[in-house]
Amino acid sequence: MESVTDQTAYLADTPDGIARAAHWLRTGELVAFATETVYGLGADATNAIAVAGIFAAKGRPRFNPLICHFATADAAFTHCLPDHRARILADAFWPGPLTLVLARHPASPVASITAAGLDSLAVRVPDHPVARALLAATDRPIAAPSANRSGRISPTRPEHVRAELDGRIAAVLQSGPTMVGLESTVLDLTGPARLLRPGSISRHAIEALIGPVALMSAAAGTPEAPLRGPGLLASHYAPTLPVRLHAHSVAPHEALLGFGTNLPPARLLHNLSERGDLLEAAANLFDLLRRLDHEATCQGLTAIAVSPIPTHEIGLAINDRLTRAAAPR
Ligand code: TXA
Ligand code: MG
């Protein structure tokens, strides 16, 4: 295998590319790869130096807990203490975009930096053939936050990863655009079930299987109720330009991120879903936000207006990400 320089290798997601990526992960290098949600920046979760490299490559200001990815539920559950709720949800939703925060198994070799020193562990089994083949080939927990610079928009295409991390990581395993487009639902099961981050697997779908799920406290982020992770910071997923939500009109200095039909006139428009389909809008969100940010800046526009988006089903997760994109920085 070739050695790693400051050049990032762009690998095809063929068996050979996957084998090379797995080798790099096993030797402590950083490799970006597709999951069904967004591209992740992977490192061997049992190698503290490799995991520290994730924070350095992302420019993440502090060590926030990362999700460990596994090829199977059995592999995931050897590192934590799943209760009956975790097993029911794993049966129903894995592989898939659900992350479970569980008590960590005392014998787990996952490095403590991976979970930011917490005694819990976030685990997930992604539903993407390349991710699963890579995880099976590495045969160890892979820590992977979204493969973007800290605070920026999550990548849903390999070219987004290149724009964010070229020259900072060993390799990018290049697959096509991701299907879901929003990060996984994060559910805390270390006590009464609590939704830490909304995603495409809804609170409703989870409650149907395990009963009531609390929402993260509205006061989270205050000193009394500190935030538990980066996806929970108020300002996140931020484009360069300021974002204005629930826009029914567009000012001359604004570009429009639209949804549905009958949109107000705008000098620059990208539509998340002309037919008003929330799943399509979720899959397009980060790519179109990124493009609009770039194109608007090139055209001398100075802000992004966003059409109202319904808050049911995955619309809740879309609004969650947009609210963070629009938060004061
Ligand atoms: O879809 C996804 O989940 C993507 C792909 C790559 O798998 N990953 C992702 O990772 O979004 P990241 O690092 O951007 O977000 C991790 C989320 C954060 O909100 C963090 O607070 C939460 O998981 N988290 C991780 N470990 C935790 C723990 N032990 N306790 C509470 N929350 C935790
Ligand atoms: Mg992220």
| 121-143 mean pLDDT | 98
Residue 229 in domain: no
| 224-247 mean pLDDT | 70
Residues whose beta carbons lie less than 5 angstroms from ion ligand 2: 146
Inter-CA distances, 200 with 118, 173, 315, Å:
26, 24, 9
Give the integer Cα–Cα distance in Å for 55 and 166: 15
* Domain CATH code at residue 173: 3.90.870.10
Mutational test site, ligand 1, from 146, 148, 160, 324, max ligand atoms within 8 Å of CB: 146
Residue 231 in domain: no
Distance from Cα 298 to the centre of ligand 1, integer Å = 33
- Together in a domain, 278 and 148: no
| 233-244 mean pLDDT | 81
pLDDT at 235: 65
**If you average pLDDT over every residue of the chain, what do you get?**
92
DSSP labels, 175-224: ----SS-SPPEEEE-SSS-EEEE--SS-HHHHHHHH---EEPPTTBTBTT
pLDDT at 62: 74
Question: Looking at the 3D structure of the chain, how many domains does it have?
Answer: 2
Least distant ligand from the CA of 145: 1
- Together in a domain, 201 and 277: no
Rounded to the nearest 5°, which phi and psi values hold at 173?
A: -85, 110
Residue 255 in domain: yes
pLDDT at 6: 73
* Domain CATH code at residue 263: 3.40.50.11030
- Together in a domain, 114 and 163: yes
| CA-184 nearest atom, ligand 1 | 1
| Residue identifier of the C-alpha nearest atom 5 of ligand 1 | 40
Split at pLDDT 50, 70, 90, the class of 320 is very high
Mutational test site, ligand 1, from 66, 118, 152, 190, max ligand atoms within 8 Å of CB: 66
Give the integer Cα–Cα distance in Å for 137 and 36: 18
- Ligand 1, CB cutoff 6 Å, lining residues: 35, 37-38, 40, 64-67, 97, 99, 101, 115, 118, 120-122, 126, 144-146, 183-184, 186, 188, 196-197, 228-232
- Together in a domain, 65 and 195: yes
% of the chain beyond a pLDDT of 70: 92
| CA-229 nearest atom, ligand 1 | 21
pLDDT digits (tens, 9 = 90+) for 252-280: 999 999 999 999 999 999 999 999 999 99
- Together in a domain, 174 and 282: no
Residue 321 in domain: yes
| 169-181 mean pLDDT | 97
Does residue 251 or residue 225 have the better pLDDT? Answer: 251
pLDDT at 146: 97
- Together in a domain, 189 and 252: no
- Together in a domain, 130 and 261: no
Residue 222 in domain: no
Give the integer Cα–Cα distance in Å for 172 and 14: 13
- Cα torsion through 165, 168, 174, 177, rounded to 10: -20
| CA-188 nearest atom, ligand 1 | 31
Least distant ligand from the CA of 231: 1
Residue 163 in domain: yes
| 273-302 mean pLDDT | 96
- Together in a domain, 206 and 157: yes
- Together in a domain, 100 and 138: yes
| 215, 232, 260 - which closes a domain | 215
pLDDT digits (tens, 9 = 90+) for 209-233: 999 999 875 444 433 344 444 445 5
Give the integer Cα–Cα distance in Å for 23 and 18: 9
Rounded to the nearest 5°, which phi and psi values hold at 268?
A: -140, 130
Distance from Cα 186 to the centre of ligand 1, integer Å = 7
pLDDT at 232: 55
Residue 39, strand partner residues: 34
Rounded to the nearest 5°, which phi and psi values hold at 50?
A: -60, -40
The 3-state DSSP composition of the chain as helix, strand, coil percent (nearest 5) reads 30, 20, 50
Nearest to 220 by CA among 232, 231, 208, 211: 232
Asked if the peptide bond before residue 95 counts as cis, ω within 30 degrees of 0, the response is yes
Distance from Cα 223 to the centre of ligand 2, integer Å = 22
Angle at 81 between CA 88 and CA 32, to 5 degrees: 85
| 112-134 mean pLDDT | 96
- Together in a domain, 195 and 259: no
Give the integer Cα–Cα distance in Å for 258 and 49: 43
| CA-186 nearest atom, ligand 1 | 23
3-state class (DSSP) for residue 138: helix
The whole-model pTM stands at 0.90
Mutational test site, ligand 1, from 54, 67, 142, max ligand atoms within 8 Å of CB: 67
| 88-99 mean pLDDT | 98
Lowest mean pLDDT among 14-18, 147-151, 184-188: 147-151
Does residue 21 or residue 234 have the better pLDDT? Answer: 21
Domain housing 206: 2-215
- Together in a domain, 17 and 156: yes
- Together in a domain, 155 and 37: yes
3-state class (DSSP) for residue 102: strand
pLDDT digits (tens, 9 = 90+) for 30-73: 999 999 999 999 999 999 999 999 999 999 877 789 999 999 99
pLDDT at 54: 96
Burial code (b: 16+ CB inside 10 Å, e: under 16) for 91-106 equals eebbbbbbbbbbbbee
Structure tokens at 222: 């205050």
Residue 238 in domain: no
Residue 234 in domain: no
| 215, 235, 261 - which closes a domain | 215
For strands 142-143 and 194-197, give the pairing: unpaired
pLDDT at 222: 39
Least distant ligand from the CA of 64: 1
pLDDT at 221: 42
